[in-house]
């Protein structure tokens, strides 16, 4: 999993998990000096084809990006200090407010997947997608970025991903700038 977005880590750092029962079946697609099970025995570095470890270590082909990993650790520590529940509630609250505001501006909001166990209730998400009939989402996103409001265009929708570092003023600025563009 990449960690640059929701975990606020630098690009190039992330997490990888391989279930133990799959490790025997899925071989590494990149092999290097750290792929060998005994790579730490530097007095007798292995030559030739590696003998893979049974652990996920066999997927580590080379040196790790230490600076990126330390930065990712600091990001994860920061998130844990704030609290994942607090972050979730803040992001979902901002997203819910944004959905309401986009609907008020005439947007058709994508409510995402439907929870089949809950009589059609939409699942909550911090990602908000809305289309504006008769308006080009790519052009809207480009103009919003020009105005220093960061959104993306995806498949004819404006896509907004509020996070805990956003605030109510960010949501208001987005909707104010968007209203200006939609009424122009």
Compute the half-sphere exposure of residue 53: CA atoms within 13 Å on the CB side of its CA.
17
**Same domain? 177 vs 94:** yes
Look at the chain and report how many structural domains it folds into: 2
**Same domain? 57 vs 119:** no
**Same domain? 90 vs 112:** yes
Domain that includes residue 27, residue range = 20-82
**Same domain? 56 vs 101:** no
Strand 108-110 versus strand 121-122 pairing type: unpaired
pLDDT of residue 146: 97
Strands (DSSP E) contained in the chain are 108-110, 114-115, 121-122, 128-131, 152-154, 157-160
**Same domain? 56 vs 132:** no
**Same domain? 54 vs 106:** no
**Same domain? 94 vs 128:** yes
pLDDT of residue 57: 86
Q: What is the DSSP string of 89-142?
A: HHHHHHHHHHHHHHHHTT-EEE---EEGGGTTEEPP-S-EEEE-TTS-HHHHHH
**Same domain? 140 vs 121:** yes
pLDDT digits (tens, 9 = 90+) for 69-104: 999 999 999 999 999 999 999 999 999 999 999 999
**Same domain? 113 vs 38:** no
Looking at the domain assignment, is residue 151 inside a domain? yes
- The pTM score is 0.77
pLDDT digits (tens, 9 = 90+) for 117-148: 554 445 678 999 999 999 999 999 999 999 99
Q: Indicate whether 110 pLDDT > 80.
A: no
**Same domain? 88 vs 153:** yes
């Amino acid at each position: 999993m990449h960690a640059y977005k929701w975990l606020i880590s630098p690009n190039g750092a992330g997490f990888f998990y391989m279930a133990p029962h799959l490790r025997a079946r899925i071989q590494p697609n990149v092999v290097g000096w750290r792929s060998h099970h005994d790579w730490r025995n530097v007095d007798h570095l292995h030559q030739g084809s590696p003998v893979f470890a049974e652990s996920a270590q066999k997927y580590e082909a080379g040196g790790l990006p230490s600076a990126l990993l330390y930065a990712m650790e600091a990001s994860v520590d920061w998130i844990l200090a704030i609290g994942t529940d607090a972050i979730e509630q803040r992001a979902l609250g901002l997203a819910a407010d944004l959905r309401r505001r986009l609907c008020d501006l005439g947007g058709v909001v994508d409510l995402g997947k439907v929870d089949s166990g809950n009589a059609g209730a939409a699942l909550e998400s911090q990602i908000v997608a809305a289309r504006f009939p008769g308006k080009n989402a790519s052009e809207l996103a480009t103009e919003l970025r020009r105005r220093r409001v960061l959104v993306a265009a995806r498949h004819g929708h404006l896509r907004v991903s509020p996070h805990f570092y956003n605030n109510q003023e960010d949501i208001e600025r987005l909707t104010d700038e968007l209203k200006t563009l939609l009424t122009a």
